[in-house]
Amino acid sequence: LSQNQTYKAYPVIQSPGLDSVLPEGNLALKDIFVEIKGGGNLRQQLIQLYNSAGGNNWKHKENWLTDEPIELWEGVHRNNEGKYSIELRDNNLTGTVALSSAEIRSIDVSSNNIENLSLSGCTGLEYAEYGNNPLVILDLSDCSIVNGYYSMGDENTYSKIKQLKMSNCKELTDVYIEM
């Protein structure tokens, strides 16, 4: 099974007593959904981010994919409380940025070429900046304590969001999208 996917599960109950009531003695329940969430620990997710967002072409990538602690990776910061901030502004990121259920406090991926940004399940996320990206998909679902979002761009790079997911943002106080 893959992470961050939804699967249908069909439990089957087998019993000799069901032989006289049901064909083949099986009772199958339908439409039970099982969702596999999470993308591993933060190091694994940052490695996946690097690979899916064109990391080889980033302007600033010192220590990425090394054995160094992730807070020594350029653009990754850890505060005294052990919470992480990701700052990859204007860094040639392309394609997809996905940090599902990551333990991050803030993220700045503005002024890149990102089309898909998924921060679903980042329950500690307080701030995300993603302006000046040609976003098509923005998933902020289950980011329960986010205080604000900001998106802007000129006529060539503004967001063309076709899919916006914000379910279960329980304490969301501000959404600002300028197009």
Distance CA 113, CA 123 (A): 25
Which pLDDT does position 131 carry in this prediction?
A: 82
Which tokens hold the place of 56?
């080889």
Residue 84 CA to residue 174 CA, distance in Å, equals: 22
Q: What is the pLDDT of residue 128?
A: 86
* Spans of the chain below 50 pLDDT: 1, 30-38, 157
Long-range contacts of 15-18 (CB under 8 A, 24+ apart): none
Q: Report the predicted TM-score, pTM, of the whole model to 2 decimal places.
A: 0.71
Query: In the numeric block, which tokens belong to residue 178?
Result: 């300028």
Q: What is the model's pLDDT at position 94? A: 95
